[in-house]
């Protein structure tokens, strides 16, 4: 069996596009596996991370991307409907 080698040029934007597609699919699967009723109406940051099975870095990225927060004393809370809207807007 002969092995053939050929150079392949991949555009720089390919990695970003691939990452966006993968992220959208992951979010879609997360959305399908999580019932809205699992989130309390105004969950804490800790509850959102636990229920959605995400880490601190991911929720901070979402906040930077525009996920609304509700300052509540020393805690940060979120509106369940805002979370659902935010995740729906990430769908491709």
Domain of residue 57 covers: 36-92
Q: Is residue 60 part of a domain?
A: yes
| pTM score over 0.85 | no
Q: Is residue 9 part of a domain?
A: no
Q: Is residue 49 part of a domain?
A: yes
Tell me the pLDDT tens digit for each residue of 50-68. Answer: 999 899 999 999 999 999 9
Cα angle: 51, vertex 56, 60; to 5 degrees: 105
Q: How far apart are CA 18 and CA 81, in angstroms?
A: 28
Q: Is residue 58 part of a domain?
A: yes
Q: Which pLDDT score is estimated for 63? A: 96
More confident residue, 13 or 29: 13
Q: Is residue 13 part of a domain?
A: no
Q: Is residue 75 part of a domain?
A: yes
Which secondary structure element, helix H or strand E, spans residue 1, and what is its range?
none
Q: Count how many domains the chain has.
A: 1
Q: Is residue 77 part of a domain?
A: yes
Distance from CA of residue 62 to its chain's centroid? 7
Tell me the pLDDT tens digit for each residue of 1-23. Answer: 788 888 888 888 888 888 888 88
Tokens representing 76? 């940060």
């Amino acid at each position: 069996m002969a092995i053939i080698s050929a150079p392949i040029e991949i555009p720089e934007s390919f990695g970003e596009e691939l990452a966006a597609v993968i992220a959208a699919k992951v979010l879609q699967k997360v959305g399908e596996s999580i019932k809205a009723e699992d989130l309390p109406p105004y969950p804490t940051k800790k509850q959102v991370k636990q229920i959605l099975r995400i880490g601190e870095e991911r929720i901070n990225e979402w906040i930077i991307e525009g996920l609304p927060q509700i300052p509540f004393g020393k805690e940060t809370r979120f509106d369940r409907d805002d979370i659902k809207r935010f995740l729906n807007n990430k769908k491709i």
